[in-house]
Amino acid sequence: MSTEKQAVVVNNNSAVIVKVEDLHKSYFLGKTAIPALRGIDFELTRGEFCSIMGPSGCGKTTLLNIIGGIDRPDRGLVQFEGVELTTLSDNELADLRLDKISFVFQFYNLLPLLSAQENVEVPMVFRGDSRSSREQRANELLALVGLKGRENHLPTELSGGEQQRVSISRAMANNPDLMICDEPSGDLDSASAKVILKLLNDLNKDMGMTILMVTHDRRTAKVCDRILHMLDGKIVQEEATPGIEGSILDDSIED
């Protein structure tokens, strides 16, 4: 536990984007409470690429959901850019998600009846952007992720990796401050996974995007600057990963 506390202290500076203190959350199966988070403390600095690792059911996704403002904790504090999320109303949280925080899901979660470009445009539609600016930005983002020429394809006409790239473009649409990725390569083959991780890494390194990612895979996690290990609803270990050696992006390692 001393390692955890230390990590919080280390990251506690003015560039802190997310601050979590003593976070608790339980789910109920009938009348039985199943604790998912049992006192989480950590901070995330602006421009950081951080991953959370741990076995199934350890509370990784719950933690992401609470930080992303799509779920609420039972107890504890969650601050995003100094704003306490637990005090925000549903509408204020929705605005926060629209402007500051975005999600990339394991199963892409694209809207099946909208084309790639339309999917990317959805957050901009919600924000009220004009049609021309939406189209221009969507096309730029799709080109950025290497999907130029596939704008009008429906999700069912795209491969898994391509769908995830559309999903990342959608997450980038409103220039968020934080991108939350829940196992973004979990449903992909290794080649596609590599493309996605490279994309996320480039976004972080070239554009300074803060990314918080959940993964099962250690090689995927090693792409990040820091790995938080979770077990039974707690952060049990923090690990700094300075380079990409040994990661999925390390070309010296055979897939």
Partner 1 sequence: MVKFLSYPKYALKSIRAKKFRFFLGVLALAIAIGMFGVSNVIIDAISLSYLPRISEQTGQVDIRVENYNITDIPPIYDYESLIDSINNLSEVAGAAPRYELPGARFQGANKNFTVTFLGIDPVREKAIGFGDLELSSPADLGVLPVNHCWVRKELAQALELEIGGQYIIEISFTNINLTLDATFVNKDMLPSSKENMILVNIETLEPFIGGPGIATEVVAQFTNRDEIYDINRPEETIAQAKTIGVLVQDAIGTGYQVYLPIASALENRGTGLVFLRILFNSLAALSLLVSGFLIFSLMTVSVEEKTREFALYRTIGAKRRQIFILVLFEASFTCLSGSVIGIGFSYLIAYFVKMFLQSSGIDIAFTLSPIMVLYSVLLGVGVAIIASLFPALRAMRKSIISGLNPLKADEPDLKLVRDRGPNKTLFLVGFSISIASGLIFLLIPIMTVSSSDTLFFTILLMLFFGFGFGLSLIIVGVVEPLVENLFLFIIKPIFKKTNKIVHMFLKRNRRRNAITAMMFIVSFGTTMVISTTFLVQDQGLIENIGTITGSDITLFDSTYDINGSEIMDEIVEEFDDVISGSFSTLPISSVLTGLWSVAGDQIFFESYGVSVLGVPSNFIEPLYDDLIVYSEGTDAMFDDLQGNNTVIISTALAKELELGIGDTLRLKLLTLNPVLIELGYTHDVFLDIVGVASKLPGMSGIHEQERFASGSTILIGEDTWSYLTDLDFQDSAYRIFLETSSHEAAETVGIELRRRYESNALFVLIEKELVDRISEDNQTRVVLVNVMMVFTIVIALFGVFASTYSNVAESHKTIGILKAIGLKNRDVDGIFILESTILTISSCLLGGLMGYFLGYYLYLIDAIEQEWNIPLVAPPLISILSFVFAIVLAGLGAFIATRVISRKSASELIRVE
The site for partner 1, by CB under 8 A, has a size of 35
- Closest separation in Å from C-beta 12 to partner 1: 27
Query: 131 to 160, contacts with partner 1 by CB under 8 A?
Result: 154, 156-157
Query: 166 to 205, contacts with partner 1 by CB under 8 A?
Result: 170, 174
- Closest separation in Å from C-beta 87 to partner 1: 16
Q: Is 1 in the site for partner 1 (CB under 8 A)?
A: no
Q: Is 34 in the site for partner 1 (CB under 8 A)?
A: no
The answer to whether 3 touches 238, Cβ cutoff 8 Å, is yes
The answer to whether 119 touches 166, Cβ cutoff 8 Å, is yes
Query: 77 to 116, contacts with partner 1 by CB under 8 A?
Result: 90-91, 94-95, 97-99, 102-103, 105, 107, 109, 111-114
- Closest separation in Å from C-beta 234 to partner 1: 20
- Closest separation in Å from C-beta 65 to partner 1: 4
The answer to whether 178 touches 17, Cβ cutoff 8 Å, is yes
Nearer to partner 1, 38 or 126 (CB): 126
- What is the distance between the alpha carbons of residues 188 and 181, in angstroms, rounded to a whole number? 14
- What is the distance between the alpha carbons of residues 142 and 144, in angstroms, rounded to a whole number? 5
Burial of 160 per CB tally in 10 Å (0-12, 13-18, 19+): middle
| Of 51, 48, 42, residue with least CA distance to 23 | 42
Q: Is the dihedral of CA 13, 25, 76, 177 positive or negative?
A: positive
Q: Which stretch binds partner 1 (CB under 8 A): 3-11, 65-73, 78-86, 143-151?
A: 65-73
- Closest separation in Å from C-beta 231 to partner 1: 21
- What is the distance between the alpha carbons of residues 159 and 82, in angstroms, rounded to a whole number? 39
**Number of other residues whose CB lies within 10 A of the CB of residue 234:** 20
- Closest separation in Å from C-beta 140 to partner 1: 19
The answer to whether 121 touches 132, Cβ cutoff 8 Å, is no
Nearer to partner 1, 180 or 223 (CB): 180
| Interface positions with partner 1 (CB under 8 A) | 62, 65, 68, 70-72, 90-91, 94-95, 97-99, 102-103, 105, 107, 109, 111-114, 118, 121-123, 125-128, 154, 156-157, 170, 174
